[in-house]
Amino acid sequence: MPELPEVETVRSQLASEIVNKKIKDINIRMSKLIRSPLAQFKRVVAGSAVSTVERRAKILLIGLDSGYTILIHLKMTGQLVFKGKGRIKGGGHPIKDGTVGLPNKYSHIFFIFTDGTKLFFNDLRQFGYMRLVKNENLKEIFTNAKLGPEPLSGKFSYKQFEELLNNRKNSKIKPLLMDQTFIAGIGNIYAIETCFAAGVRPTRRVGSLTKSEKKKIYDNLIRILKLAVRKQGTSAKNFVDAYGEPGNYVPLLKIYGRRGQPCRQCRTTIKAIHLGGRGTTYCPKCQK
């Protein structure tokens, strides 16, 4: 899926397009992706207007003027694509030709606004979901999810990071970075890139990290996430975003997906391992 920078990109693009638009109708072609009572979902959503578009972790929050919020998770392959009058905007996961001919075979749900514009929810692997929550219950939902701090909130200090690390000394650093209850929003790509930038092997136990290494992990994590947001996210493989262009962070990837290729820093062949069930690449020379 889109990780934090990709979801944040979708959020800001959508915010500029759909806030204050009224939803005339909603077309649900695959109801299993709606994780709320279907009748209620349709009844509340149709006729509501969008008041906010926000994000928590990798979850998009579309606030409605009816006192409800739609939670949307894109998981591995979800997309949200806005189709305005003549222009397409939005984003999410790369699907070849995903923006050609909407709705397409992956457009499982879509919203139709009163001005005739549309918002498509496409998902090749069908892992994503939408859920309708009363605003007064939102807090409880997030409390139960035990989501960690937002790394780009501005309140997430090195001191806090170090304290969190001290509670998980036995964890391997890379799977820990991806643990949403530890820090919210980091996925496979940015965890891998952060470890490389910090010069730390993904398999290192937190307890073995020096203070200098912890600081490098923190600094690079924040730096990379901010840069990726500015570049409107990463799209591996043959991604086309909703504008039909590849994600701008792709050329900046240093190690993700480069198994067997020479390290950009030292030319050593990049290794690949399985860690926590996820493909993980690292440079055996640059990362200690």
118: which residues sit within 8 A by CB, 6+ positions away? 82, 83, 102, 110, 111, 112
Shortest distance, CB of residue 217 to DNA, whole angstroms? 16
Nearest CB to DNA, comparing residues 86 and 251: 251
- Closer residue to DNA in complex, CB, 237/267: 237
DSSP class of 134: E
Rounded least distance, CB 223 to DNA, Å: 18
Closest CB 65 distance from DNA, rounded Å: 27
Distances in Å between the alpha carbon of 13 and those of 25, 74, 176? 21, 15, 30
| 278: annotated active-site residue | yes
Task: Rank residues 88 and 240 by Cβ distance to DNA and give the closer one.
Answer: 240
Cβ neighbours of 229 (radius 10 Å):
18
3 is catalytic: yes
Verify whether residue 58 is a known catalytic residue.
yes
| Residues forming a β-bridge with 172 | 205
Task: Check if 55 is active-site.
Answer: no
Q: Of 11, 55, 58, 216, which is the active-site residue?
A: 58
| Set 3, 6, 17, 193: catalytic member | 3
Nearest distance in Å: CB 96, DNA? 6
Beta strand ranges found along the chain (DSSP E): 23-28, 50-56, 59-64, 68-73, 78-83, 88-92, 107-113, 118-123, 129-134, 271-275, 278-282
Interface ranges with DNA (CB under 7 A): 1-3, 6, 57-58, 73, 75-76, 93-94, 96, 105, 124-127, 145, 168, 170-172, 175-176, 178, 180, 187-189, 233-239, 247, 274, 276-279
CA distance 95 to 89: 15
Query: Which residues are designated catalytic?
Result: 2-3, 58, 278
